[in-house]
Amino acid sequence: MADTTRLSVTNQQVINAIYKAAKSVGRNGWDLLSRAGLTSLVRDRQGLYRGPDIEALPGLTAQEKALVREALGLPAEVPQPETPPPAALLTNQQMINAIYKAAAALGKDGWDLLRRADLVHLVRDRQATYEGPAVDALPGLSAAEKAQVKIALGLPAEVSPPEEPTPSGEFTHQQLINAIYKVAKSAGLNGWSLLRAAGLTYLVRDRQAVYRGPAIDDLPGLSSVQKAQVKAALGLAEETVPPSIPQITNQQVINAIYQTARATGQQGWTLLSRAKLTHLVQDRQGAYQGPAIDDLPGLSDDEKTRLKEILGLPAGGPPKPATGETEVAAGIEGKIKWQGPSPNQEPTRYGHPIEMIVMHYTASGSTAGTVSWFMNPASKVSVHYVVGRDGEIVQLVKDECRAHHAGQGPLPGQSEEIGERRRKRNRIIQPNSRSLGIEMVNWGPLQKRGDKYYTWMGSECPGEVVLKNGTYWQAYTDSQLASVIQLVSHLCRKHNIPAQYPPLGPGTFDPDDKTLATFKGILGHSALDNQKRDPGPHFDWDRLLAGVRENLGQS
Ligand SMILES: [Zn+2]
C-alpha cells in the first residue's frame, strides 16, 4: 500500500489522531481516548496499533471517527453515515468524499467535479469545517450532480432525470438489487455485502427509480464473471467480443464509444454526437448498421483505433514496428490499460536507472476506487501499475517517470530522531527513483468477528481468507497472480532487472540501507519500510519468482 493508505500505525499515531480529532470538535483529547476505550495505548506508544478498526471504536460519533481516520491519513473514501452530521459539523474532507462519490455514481471524474464546483481549495485544509455554499448553490454542477452529492451526504434529494442516456438498457434499482442478490446467492456470498462492494447500497433508498449509475462493467468490487452474471440476471445482452461488424449491436457500439470517451477524458454523449450516432440509443438491441468505424465523422484516428480495439476489430493502419519482445511481452502490452498520467508523479528519475520492482497491496477492494485514489492530486501518491482482483492491469505512471509509492519520510507521531532516520534511509536507498511500483488490489489484514471477516474500514470482506502468522488476510486471486507474473516478467525483461530477491527475502525488512541501495530485483514494500506490511505474508513469493524465471527462460 502506498504511503498514505497506511494500515500499520503505531499507538502513538492513533493517540495523536484522537487528540487532533478532539481538538477540531472542541473536546478534551483524553476524554475522547477514554470514550474510545484506548487509554491503554499510552503504555506502549511505539508499539504497532492492534486495537479495533477505527469504524468499530466504541463511544465515538461517526463524525469523530471520520476525523480520526483523516488525521491518520487514511483514504478519502469512507462509508457514509446513514444520517448526515449537522451541516455545521461537515468537514471539507466529507464534502470532498461526497463529490467523489457523486462523480463515481455518474461515471464521471471526481477531481473534475470538484473543480467545476469551485471547491478544489478544500484539499488544502481537509479537517476544517466546510464553509462553502450549500449544495444547491454550488456553481458548475448540473441538477443531477447536485442530487448525487446530496445523496452522498445523506441529505434528501429529489431524483433528477439523467442528462444523457446511460450505456445500458433501462432497469429499476429494485431489479439491479435483485440481480446482485441472485449473483451473490449463487456464489454463497452475502447479497448486502456484494451490493456494498459494488457501491450500490444507496439503491435501497428509492427502489422504484430507474437506475442511472455506472454501467455494470464499471461497477467496482465485482469480478468480471460477477458482472457478466449480473447482466445476465438483468436480461441484458451478454457482451462478447464480436468477430465481425455485422454482429455488433448498437448497444455495443454505444458502450465502446463511452469507454473510449472515458479513456480520453471526454463525455460519452459528446463523442457519440460527434460520431453522429446518437440515434443508436433508439434501438439498442438492433444490429449496428452505421458507417464502418474508419468512416465515422468527427473522430480522431486515436479514437477510431481505440474503438476498434474495444470492439475487437482488426486495427488496420500501418503495422507496428517490430520490438524484438517475446510473445509474453507482446501479450502483456495489449493487456495493460493506460489510464494515467497520475498527477502525483515526476517526469524524471533524476538520473537513476530502473533497478527494482516494489510489490504492494492497496488495502482497498476495487481497481476503480484504487485508480481514482492515485489519480486524485489530494492523495499525493501514485504507482506505475495496479493489478485488479480479476487480473486487470491498469497503468497510471509511465515506466520512465518517478511515482510516489515507496518513499520514506517521517510519519505523524514519530520522534524527530526516527523521522530523521527514515529520511536518511530514503536518501541512501532512493526507492522511488530506482523502482517501478505494482499495487495489487487486496484488503490486507482482516478482523474476524463471529464467522465473518471485516476490513480495516469496517466493511465485511467476502471471499477467500487465509490465516498466516496469526492474522487473517484476504487471499490474492489466481487471475491476479497470473497477471502479476506476466507483468513482472515483462518489466524484468524490458528494463533488464534480475529476477531475484534481496538477501533477507522479499518480504523481510532489511535494516542495512546499503544492501538495498545497491540491490537489483524484486521486493515487497515491507522489505524497504519497517512501518509497512504489504504485500503481506499471504502473498505467494515462491510462485511469483518461479513464474517469472520460467517466462524469462531461467528455470
Ligand atoms: Zn505499500
pLDDT band at 107 (very low <50, low <70, confident <90, very high): confident
Please give the distance, rounded to the nearest whole angstrom, from the Cα atom of residue 6 to the centre of ligand 1: 8
- The confidence score (pLDDT) of residue 237 equals 55
- The confidence score (pLDDT) of residue 315 equals 59
Average pLDDT over residues 345-369: 93
Residues 343 and 446 in one domain: yes
Asked if residue 161 is part of any domain, the answer here is no
**How many whole angstroms separate alpha carbon 231 and alpha carbon 176?**
9
Asked if residue 324 is part of any domain, the answer here is no
Average pLDDT over residues 109-132: 84
Task: Report pLDDT digits (tens) over 46-74.
Answer: 888 888 888 778 788 888 888 888 888 77
Residues 7 and 126 in one domain: yes
Q: Which carries the bigger pLDDT value, residue 394 or residue 122? A: 394
Asked if residue 135 is part of any domain, the answer here is yes
Q: How many helices (H) does the chain have, and how many strands (E)?
A: 20, 12
Asked if residue 325 is part of any domain, the answer here is no
Please give the distance, rounded to the nearest whole angstrom, from the Cα atom of residue 55 to the centre of ligand 1: 22
The whole domain housing 180 covers 173-233
- The region of weakest confidence among 4-8, 279-283, 405-409 is 4-8
Please give the distance, rounded to the nearest whole angstrom, from the Cα atom of residue 190 to the centre of ligand 1: 29
Asked if residue 37 is part of any domain, the answer here is yes
pLDDT at residue 354 greater than cutoff 50: yes
Residues 60 and 189 in one domain: no
Asked if residue 353 is part of any domain, the answer here is yes
pLDDT band at 75 (very low <50, low <70, confident <90, very high): low
- The confidence score (pLDDT) of residue 247 equals 56
Contact 117, 141 (CB under 8 A): yes
Taking the alpha carbons at both ends of the chain, their separation in whole angstroms is 30
Strand partners, 474: 465
Residues 223 and 200 in one domain: yes
- The region of weakest confidence among 24-28, 374-378, 507-511 is 24-28
Torsion 544-545-549-552 (CA) sign:
positive
Residues 114 and 212 in one domain: no
Please give the distance, rounded to the nearest whole angstrom, from the Cα atom of residue 371 to the centre of ligand 1: 15
Strand partners, 466: 473
- In this structure, what CATH number is given to the domain that contains residue 403? 3.40.80.10
Q: What is the pTM of this model?
A: 0.47
Task: Report pLDDT digits (tens) over 123-174.
Answer: 878 878 788 888 888 888 888 888 888 888 877 654 333 333 333 467 888 8
Please give the distance, rounded to the nearest whole angstrom, from the Cα atom of residue 174 to the centre of ligand 1: 39
Please give the distance, rounded to the nearest whole angstrom, from the Cα atom of residue 525 to the centre of ligand 1: 5
| Cell numbers representing residue 142 in the block | 448540473
Residues 218 and 249 in one domain: no
DSSP 31-97: HHHHHTT-GGGGGGTTSBP-S--GGG-TT--HHHHHHHHHHTT--S--PPPSSPPPGGG-BHHHHHH
Please give the distance, rounded to the nearest whole angstrom, from the Cα atom of residue 3 to the centre of ligand 1: 6
Please give the distance, rounded to the nearest whole angstrom, from the Cα atom of residue 536 to the centre of ligand 1: 10
Please give the distance, rounded to the nearest whole angstrom, from the Cα atom of residue 526 to the centre of ligand 1: 7
Average pLDDT over residues 199-223: 84
Please give the distance, rounded to the nearest whole angstrom, from the Cα atom of residue 7 to the centre of ligand 1: 10
Residues 303 and 353 in one domain: no
Task: Report pLDDT digits (tens) over 447-466.
Answer: 999 999 998 888 899 899 99
Please confirm whether the linkage preceding 321 is cis (ω < 30° from 0).
no
Residues 305 and 394 in one domain: no
Please give the distance, rounded to the nearest whole angstrom, from the Cα atom of residue 444 to the centre of ligand 1: 11
Instruction: Report the residue count for the chain.
Output: 555
Task: Report pLDDT digits (tens) over 319-331.
Answer: 333 333 333 444 7
Please give the distance, rounded to the nearest whole angstrom, from the Cα atom of residue 406 to the centre of ligand 1: 6
Q: Which of 187, 202, 233 is the last residue of a domain?
A: 233
Please give the distance, rounded to the nearest whole angstrom, from the Cα atom of residue 387 to the centre of ligand 1: 13
- The confidence score (pLDDT) of residue 169 equals 63
Q: Which of 75, 73, 34 is nearest to 57 (CA)?
A: 34
Residues 299 and 335 in one domain: no
CA distances from 412 to 3, 4, 13, 71, 212 (A): 12, 11, 6, 9, 41
Residues 405 and 455 in one domain: yes
Please give the distance, rounded to the nearest whole angstrom, from the Cα atom of residue 75 to the centre of ligand 1: 13
CA distances from 104 to 112, 137, 337 (A): 11, 21, 19
Please give the distance, rounded to the nearest whole angstrom, from the Cα atom of residue 534 to the centre of ligand 1: 5
Please give the distance, rounded to the nearest whole angstrom, from the Cα atom of residue 497 to the centre of ligand 1: 20
Count of the separate structural domains present in the chain? 4
Please give the distance, rounded to the nearest whole angstrom, from the Cα atom of residue 524 to the centre of ligand 1: 8
Residues 73 and 202 in one domain: no
Residues 16 and 144 in one domain: yes
Please give the distance, rounded to the nearest whole angstrom, from the Cα atom of residue 125 to the centre of ligand 1: 25
Q: Which carries the bigger pLDDT value, residue 267 or residue 345? A: 345
> Helix, strand or coil for residue 441?
coil
Asked if residue 415 is part of any domain, the answer here is yes
Asked if residue 323 is part of any domain, the answer here is no
Please give the distance, rounded to the nearest whole angstrom, from the Cα atom of residue 421 to the centre of ligand 1: 19
pLDDT at residue 543 greater than cutoff 60: yes
